[in-house]
Amino acid sequence: MPQASALVRSIREEYGQPIFLNADHTHSIARAEEAAKAGFDEIIFDGSSLPFDENIVQTKKAVEAIKSINPTTLVEGEIGWIGASSAILEKLPEGVGVLTTPQEAKQFVEATNIDVLAPAVGNMHGLLQSMVRGETEKRLDIRRIAEIKAAAGIFMTLHGGSGTRDEDFQQAIKAGMTIVHVNTELRLAWRRGLESALKAHPDEVAPYKLLPAVGQAVSEVVEKRLSLFNFR
Ligand SMILES: [Zn+2]
């Protein structure tokens, strides 16, 4: 974590870009504290696999622990089950599809004091094979996003956004989503970029000759997504 933090800080300073460093899905208070000490801007304490009441107890503890290290670090909490793997899946993980309610969101935010909320609104971690083939897309419940936003009144993150219909992304942002995650799309681009670089240069052993094409493949997805999300 200290190395990741130092790397991002150096890029931020050199290029003057407002890059935001996020510790995605920490599952223990010890890991969350490690990220806070390393200077991450935001830390997600993910208790979403716990029963709701236990998630509240643990998330509240995480908020207190992180803020006591650095009060300016943003803390994100997560409610509702949207799966746990940024992988290419054959079928929907069990339990995915139950949406967060505005009441749960309000109760969770008030009890834990989080800065950012990650709800379940039709999103899912990972991609289905049918989405990779371009046959299906994720759809979001835009009305529910607006209701949760009104009830919670804080920043919100759309996790598991990969493979979502373009129009739904924009509507979700309009309805109150502040942060959008599309990590599986980036990993897919990374994998395909790597495969084609290795295929194009079967005898190459120098990483610095193979990896720029991989970075380029990821950059193209990032650029496409940023232009979609910054539509206003
Ligand atoms: Zn996530």
- Expressed in angstroms and rounded, the spacing between residue 100 Cα and the centre of ligand 1 is 15
Please tell me the predicted confidence (pLDDT) of residue 231. 86
Tell me the helix, strand and coil percentages in the chain, rounded to 5: 50, 10, 35
- Expressed in angstroms and rounded, the spacing between residue 10 Cα and the centre of ligand 1 is 25
Give burial (CB, 10 Å; 0-12/13-18/19+) of 120: buried
What whole-number distance in Å separates Cα of residue 59 and Cα of residue 76? Answer: 9
Residue 159 phi/psi, 5-degree rounding, is -85, 160
Tokens (6 digits) for 106: 């309000």
- 74-78 vs 42-45, strand pairing mode: parallel
Please tell me the predicted confidence (pLDDT) of residue 205. 97
- Pick the closest to residue 174 from 103, 119, 223, 232 (CA basis): 232
pLDDT in tens, the chain (232 residues): 999 999 999 999 999 988 999 999 999 999 999 999 999 999 999 999 999 999 999 999 999 999 999 999 999 999 998 988 878 999 888 888 899 999 999 999 999 999 999 999 999 999 999 999 999 999 999 999 999 999 999 999 999 999 999 999 999 999 999 999 999 999 999 999 999 999 999 999 999 999 999 999 999 999 999 999 998 7
- Pick the closest to residue 58 from 74, 78, 84 (CA basis): 78
Please tell me the predicted confidence (pLDDT) of residue 96. 86
pTM of the prediction? Answer: 0.94
- Expressed in angstroms and rounded, the spacing between residue 9 Cα and the centre of ligand 1 is 23
Cα separation of the two ends of the chain: 34
- Expressed in angstroms and rounded, the spacing between residue 156 Cα and the centre of ligand 1 is 12
- Expressed in angstroms and rounded, the spacing between residue 24 Cα and the centre of ligand 1 is 7
- Pick the closest to residue 77 from 32, 135, 39 (CA basis): 32
- Expressed in angstroms and rounded, the spacing between residue 184 Cα and the centre of ligand 1 is 10
- Expressed in angstroms and rounded, the spacing between residue 76 Cα and the centre of ligand 1 is 11
What CA dihedral angle connects 124, 128, 132 and 135, to 10 degrees? Answer: -100
In order of 88, 153, 168, the CA distances from 124 in angstroms are 12, 23, 14
